[in-house]
A = this chain, B = another copy of it.
């Protein structure tokens, strides 16, 4: 397929230029290639390892959730130089999609994680400007069961899970999911205000655990990496279905 066609299709499907995001995200095509896409690699992070593995795999389009420009306008020197040298040397384009992928109603990290955990979303969660980054829904089952499924999921992606409080014999009646760095003073407040009793996130700083404890509120920290592996995979499959180009997932866990 032509790079132009794939990029245009992704921009449309993900509403790349309509979804708000942080400045460093630079959503959309971040680096071009010579114009055709023969194979797609998808990864959570545009790290040196991901770029190297993409080159080895023969891919010439790398789709990532965390792109190359979070550090702003940086010189291409050191590790940064090596990454771009590999990209240009192997003619690999990079397409990055941060919040547009988190919030996509079918391919998104949050919707897909809910599905993987057997939870059915009924509303958005984690307001950011004009969008809901995450999802929420109702349930009625022991929180220990939910936790067991989260643990099985995290294990599958090489991660581990901790909770803000022992789940004991609690029941999950309303849950919310916000993948990645999803625990913050704001998401905890929103969760409490909207009657959520179980909040599943990737990670969050120490003070979010303290705040959760104070309110006797259950946060399940399932790992930043693990919770964001599903969106890019869904996107890989979507590209193959649409353009007949094969894809591969580069599994590069970080322990975080």
A-to-B contact residues, CB < 8 Å: 23-24, 26, 28-32, 45, 47-49, 66, 69-79, 81, 84-85, 88-89, 162-164, 180-181, 185, 202-203, 205-210, 213-215, 221, 224-225, 254-256
Contact = CB atoms under 8 A, between A and B. Distances in A.
29 contacts: A23-B73, A24-B73, A26-B75, A28-B75, A30-B75, A31-B75, A31-B76, A32-B78, A45-B210, A47-B213, A48-B213, A66-B210, A71-B73, A84-B84, A84-B88, A85-B88, A88-B89, A162-B255, A163-B255, A164-B254, A181-B206, A202-B206, A203-B205, A203-B206, A206-B224, A209-B254, A209-B256, A210-B254, A213-B254
Contacts of A163: 255
B73 A26 contact: yes
Copies in the complex: 6
B209 A31 contact: no
A256 B72 contact: no
B162 A47 contact: no
A225 B206 contact: yes
Nearest to A69: B73
A79 B215 contact: yes
Nearest to A253: B209
A145 to B, nearest CB: 21
Given A255-B162, A256-B162, A32 B76 contact: yes
A72 B173 CA distance: 32
Contacts of A164: 254-255
A60 B24 CA distance: 30
A91 to B, nearest CB: 9
A84 B87 CA distance: 11
Contacts of A221: 256
Nearest to A202: B206
Given A254-B213, A256-B162, A70 B224 contact: no
Contacts of A70: 207
A214 B254 CA distance: 11
Contacts of A73: 23-24, 26, 69, 71-74
A47 B210 contact: yes
